[in-house]
Structure 1
């Protein structure tokens, strides 16, 4: 199994530090990890074809038509696509096929970090055994596809709006995992967030183990 990590874009989301948290985890799950720091990798048919999982952490980027075609068609043909926070949904706003594949886009968040609860929904393996838990981070308001499979939500205190936090979907033969949590390594080290993220990567690759520890891939 090969995982391709594509990282770069806005440094405020610490793409290198955040993705580094999961390289050892993926290697421990049997992946050979390939890292790219350019979106041009999406035009490299050989590297794309060898990747069963693509993890993107690239905020504020946009794809050329050729890059978009390469990525979307690889996912449609069976690769998993996964990411978190702005690295996957504050990206490609002008790329309609990318937006349709991912199923949501970041719109805004209230100023600063907030305390709010992550409410798990259902019993999908990604969130199985994870209780309702509190976070202190940005609260993302998104425009989302109504057909998403939503596995966790949050509620905006001012409006009562319930917003997806974790979702999955299938795109052709591929699987897509998205979490709005993960502004920084600190957020991704929250135990339940780390569990959800690690499981989400494995689910997208079609190899989720039902017995992951509560801190998957911990560097401790």
Structure 2
């Protein structure tokens, strides 16, 4: 990743940079994927809320809310899950996270965004209402008992092995048949290990589709 103000077109397509002023690090391809998934959910009536775990400045979650607003959907919630305080400490038992280098670094400081800032960003677009729900805390603390019945879209942007696994273990069973599971950080070995392990253990046979250099997704099978 690079930190830039003036970007080549390929960087904005792929989301391969850390924007100084932007509300998301996600490029056009991953945003288009979110839009396609949300539009399919609405067109087919897939039940459930939309959730992003790991939101940074909130750009993708705001985009989800904007799509619901544009289509006149006012019953679904957009659930915004984040520690709003950076990454958890790596666990010694998680081999994939032992050499995690972002913790307590300038990079982590850049990526740690407060809940208040994310709320303000929703408000800037006129999209903060009672259907935007914030879950503040590390995923292993907030997600297992979160007040969520069904999800139509689950988007994981957690970087670390353990954080990604916490998301999938806590929420995948709440994803409706036909719903979408989106992984933002598959290019990172820690995230890839968690996703591959979870899919293998759960015998998930739906193909893992490529979005861009790091984004992947699959659609949960109809049962």
* Range into which the TM-score falls when normalised by the shorter chain: 0.3 to 0.5
More strand per residue: 1 or 2?
1
More helix per residue: 1 or 2?
2
